[in-house]
Each structure stands twice: as structure tokens, then as C-alpha cells.
Amino acid sequence: MRAAGVWVWGISGGAPEGVSQDAEEAFKKTVEIDRLIDLLRHANPQELPKIVAENILAFNEGFWIRLAARNDTCKSEDDKKDYEELALSVMSIVDRLVHKTNEKIESSTDVLKGILKPVVDEKEEIPWPPRDPEALKAMEEEVMQMEQEGQLDEGFLSEVNAQLRQAKEDGDKPGLVAMLQKVLQLYASIVLSKRSYAKRGNEVLKAEEFLEVLIKAPEEEWNKLLLDGMTVGKGDVSPEDLNAVIKKRIERTLIRTEGGSYQQRVLTEYLKGIQSRAEEIVQVLQGRT
């Protein structure tokens, strides 16, 4: 994330001569908050929870007012988005810490079991797709809720990947494989949808907007959306433009996630899945197989 370059009374020095003691105290608090904000902005996703926990008492009304003020001074849309994402991340972590003060944080295995519960019957059979469409909807809602609570961390993603790898090796659990893949797709869709690049001022960027529609859509709807949205089908977004914005989103994801993390892998693989599907559609429509 980029530094916003916001200065109050020079920050590196003291308050101007002649300023009252109350004003000087307020200035010192502002300096402390600015330092914390800068620390949070430059931290990677894995460091954030630790920093928030160590400074939990600092997240009072003054912190949020100062964060909003710095956001208002941003000149670029990317900087504004950075501040908005930071605010959401910090609020989520603070809420989770407060919520879990007197509770034991669920293990990654328990979280996954809770997510899969709606689509696994009492005999622990795993039909896919679920016989009851409402079961899939319930699973999607559970993923969204757990993500909002900050439960879908690196430990959780590691657990899902480990179980997915084992299920593939076993070779006799196609339902479980599909189900775990769906969990990762839902996670990627939710996280990637938090940021929008479809507007530049008052201008709507069609390719970015189309990519965001694909990101939010279930994987089984991609074919129809691509056929309806690309110029090789019925739409007005060229395959070249779509490919360019996908590559750009992958680059942004690599920058904003920790290198080698499961989160980085899951998010980039989801984007590459959309990219591959688009290429397949283009090849079929152009008669190349």
C-alpha cells in the first residue's frame, strides 16, 4: 500500500509555538494514530491481526475519525480503496477479538465442518451437487459469515487444501473433491469482490465491470456469461480486453497478498480459472479445438 503523504503540523516536529496545552495533547494523539495507521497500511495480511491485538485499546472513535480524514485527503482512487480495505480489515479483526474474548476460537477443522454441515447428510455421504438446492445456499451463507468473522485464515485454507489433496489421492470421493473446491471458489469470490476497479472517476470500465460479474458468479455460470459478454459471442467486451484486466487483477493480487501463502494461491488460481475458461470459449467459437 502506498503512503498518503498526509502531514499535520509537520509531524516530525512539535506543535507550533503558542499552541495551547490541550491542542498540543491532541496533536500528539494524532501523531500516534498516524503512526499506527502507517504501520497497519504497510503490514502484510498475516501481520495485521497481531498488530491490531497489540494496539486494541487504540481503536477508539479518534482512530476511526482520523482514518476517515486521511481517506478524504487521498487524491487517487487506488489510495482511497486502500484505506477502505484497511478499515474493513481492521474492523473485522477488532470485532473478532472482542467477540472471542470469552470464547475459544474454533479450530480450522471445526470451521470447515461447520461450513460443510448443510451439504453432508447424517450418514456423511457427500452427493454433489447437493440434492437440496437450499443446502448449497446455506453453505454459501456459512462461508460468507465465517469470512466476515475472520475465521477463514491461512490455517483454514491450509486445512481445506490438505483435505482436498487427500480426497484426490483417495480417488473414490468425487463429491468431497467437488465440495472442497466449491469452498475455495466461494472464498476467492468473496475476497476478490471486496475491491472494485470498474470505475475511473465517472467512467465505467466495461472489461473491469465484466470481470467483476464473473468473479461474483458461480463457476457453473461462467460459460453463459462469457458467451453473452464477449465480442466473439453476444457481448461488447473483447477477449483481449478481458484477458488484460484479468492479468492486471492477478498482478494486484500478488502484490497485496503474502508471497507463497495459501490465500495468494487460492485467489490467483480462481482468476486463472476464469482466464482459462474464457480462452476455451474463444477457441470453440473460432473453430479451434
pLDDT confidence tier of residue 206, bands split at 50, 70 and 90: very high
**Dihedral pair phi/psi, residue 55, rounded to 5°:** -120, 30
Q: Is the pLDDT of residue 190 over 60?
A: yes
Question: Would 15 be classed as within a structural domain?
Answer: no
Average pLDDT (205-232) is: 95
State the burial class of residue 44 (Cβ atoms within 10 Å of its Cβ: 0-12, 13-18, 19+): exposed
Average pLDDT (247-264) is: 91
Angle, vertex CA 104, rays to CA 102 and CA 107, nearest 5 = 160
Question: Would 30 be classed as within a structural domain?
Answer: yes
pLDDT confidence tier of residue 20, bands split at 50, 70 and 90: low
Question: Would 173 be classed as within a structural domain?
Answer: no
Question: Would 273 be classed as within a structural domain?
Answer: yes
Q: Per residue in 74-113, pLDDT tens?
A: 888 888 888 888 888 888 888 877 765 444 445 888 889 8
Question: Would 155 be classed as within a structural domain?
Answer: no
Give the whole-angstrom CA distance, residue 199 versus residue 103: 42
Domain that holds residue 87: 21-99
- Please say whether the beta carbons of 188 and 267 come within 8 A: yes
State the burial class of residue 160 (Cβ atoms within 10 Å of its Cβ: 0-12, 13-18, 19+): buried
**Dihedral pair phi/psi, residue 9, rounded to 5°:** 55, 30
Last residue of a domain, one of 67, 99, 131: 99
* Cell reading at 150: 475472520
Average pLDDT (180-198) is: 94
Last residue of a domain, one of 52, 79, 99: 99
- Please say whether the beta carbons of 137 and 182 come within 8 A: no
Q: Per residue in 120-163, pLDDT tens?
A: 765 656 667 777 778 888 999 999 999 888 889 888 999 999 99
Average per-residue pLDDT in the chain?
84
Q: Is the pLDDT of residue 241 over 70?
A: yes
Lowest mean pLDDT among 30-34, 220-224, 234-238, 283-287: 283-287
Long-range contacts of 80-89 (CB under 8 A, 24+ apart): 81/195, 81/196, 82/1, 82/2, 82/41, 83/4, 83/41, 85/194, 85/195, 86/1, 86/37, 86/40, 86/41, 88/194, 89/45, 89/48
Question: Would 9 be classed as within a structural domain?
Answer: no
Q: Is the pLDDT of residue 14 over 70?
A: no
Last residue of a domain, one of 48, 78, 99: 99
Amino acid identity of residue 135, one-letter, is: A
Question: Would 139 be classed as within a structural domain?
Answer: no
Identify which of 29-38, 60-69, 120-129, 179-188 has the greatest average pLDDT: 179-188
Domains in the chain, number: 2
* Cell reading at 126: 457427500
Q: Is the pLDDT of residue 6 over 50?
A: no
In SS3 terms, 33-91 reads as HHHHHHHHHHCCCCCHHHHHHHCHHHCCHHHHHHHHHHHHHCCCHHHHHHHHHHHHHHH
Question: Would 125 be classed as within a structural domain?
Answer: no
Three-state DSSP class for residue 194: coil
